[in-house]
């Protein structure tokens, strides 16, 4: 992300996000920033890197075994059939659309054999991409040790949206997959506040929340050949603040 010297627009907040960044998805130029290089907990925005690592190492139809001893906390797909083989793509959907911590653990173990090795892979990838304020301790983001900054998250967002598999699930309001459960279908409904509100041009990407991180969001929208991204960390209202910043980007970018 290239930090241009001056903001293209100014914003007054009643209650600002802890950190924010608006950027051009194609060029990487920033249009607005607030504490964009300061490191904070990022909650489930961690899963953007998880998805990048998973899509680099798997194919959509690849068989993944759901461990019998699977344990998790927080948000989940919740219908993963333990001991059964499932395709990688429904798990990727569960990871990104409903922010499934169970899907994150299953995919991490599939790719690297165990969670610790997968987290090491995530950190190595962050190092190779020059993400200097990023550090992961889990594949799902529940730990306060999963930390990054708005600038690094913008880099991850740009990389993620170039991957067709990630872009497809990141922009989905709802999705269904053939799945070995009762009824034979897994139905998922997304959390993206821009997509749920019908924001024009919204195509991604990921929400997150923990007590330490607050409400976090990386959003992407495309109109008339222009694509902008927004990162919000600890926002009082990610949907409204993201829409306001993206509106200004399309007006002034």
| Catalytically active residues, by annotation | 44, 47, 99
d(CA 141, CA 137): 8
Residues 141 and 49: beta-carbon distance below 8 Å: no
- H or E element at residue 32: strand 30-34
- Rounded Cα distance, 163 and 171, in Å: 12
What is the maximum span of the chain, computed from C-alpha positions, in angstroms?
A: 56
To which residue do tokens 């190492």 refer? Answer: 57
Roughly how many angstroms between the first and final C-alpha of the chain, as a whole number?
15
> Within 13 Å, how many C-alpha atoms sit on residue 84's CB side?
10
Give CA–CA dist 48/166, Å, rounded. 9
Geometric angle at alpha carbon 192, from 191 and 193, rounded to 5°: 105
Token readout for 218 is: 């990386």
Q: Which H or E run contains 95? A: helix 88-96
Angle between helical axes of 150-161 and 46-57 (0-180°, round to 10): 30
């Amino acid at each position: 992300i290239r930090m241009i010297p001056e903001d293209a627009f100014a914003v007054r907040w009643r209650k600002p996000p802890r950190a924010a960044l608006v950027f051009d998805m194609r060029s990487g130029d920033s249009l607005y920033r607030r504490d964009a290089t300061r490191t904070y907990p990022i909650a489930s925005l961690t899963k953007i890197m998880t998805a990048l690592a998973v899509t680099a190492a798997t194919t959509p139809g690849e068989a993944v075994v759901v461990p019998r001893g699977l344990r998790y906390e927080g948000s989940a797909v919740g219908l993963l059939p333990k001991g059964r083989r499932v395709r990688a793509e429904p798990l990727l959907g569960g990871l990104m659309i409903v922010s499934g911590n169970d899907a994150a653990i299953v995919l991490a173990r599939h790719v690297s054999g165990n969670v610790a090795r997968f987290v090491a892979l995530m950190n190595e990838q962050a190092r190779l991409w020059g993400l200097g304020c990023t550090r992961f301790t889990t594949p799902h983001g529940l730990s306060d040790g999963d930390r990054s900054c708005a600038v690094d998250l913008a880099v991850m967002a740009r990389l993620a949206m170039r991957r067709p598999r990630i872009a497809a699930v990141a922009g989905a309001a709802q999705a269904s997959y053939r799945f070995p459960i009762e009824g034979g279908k897994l139905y998922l409904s997304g959390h993206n506040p821009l997509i749920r509100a019908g924001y024009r041009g919204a195509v991604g990407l990921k929400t997150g929340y923990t007590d330490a991180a607050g409400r976090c969001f990386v959003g992407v929208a495309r109109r008339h050949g222009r694509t902008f991204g927004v990162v919000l960390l600890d926002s009082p209202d990610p949907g409204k603040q993201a829409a306001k910043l993206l509106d200004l980007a399309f007006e002034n970018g």
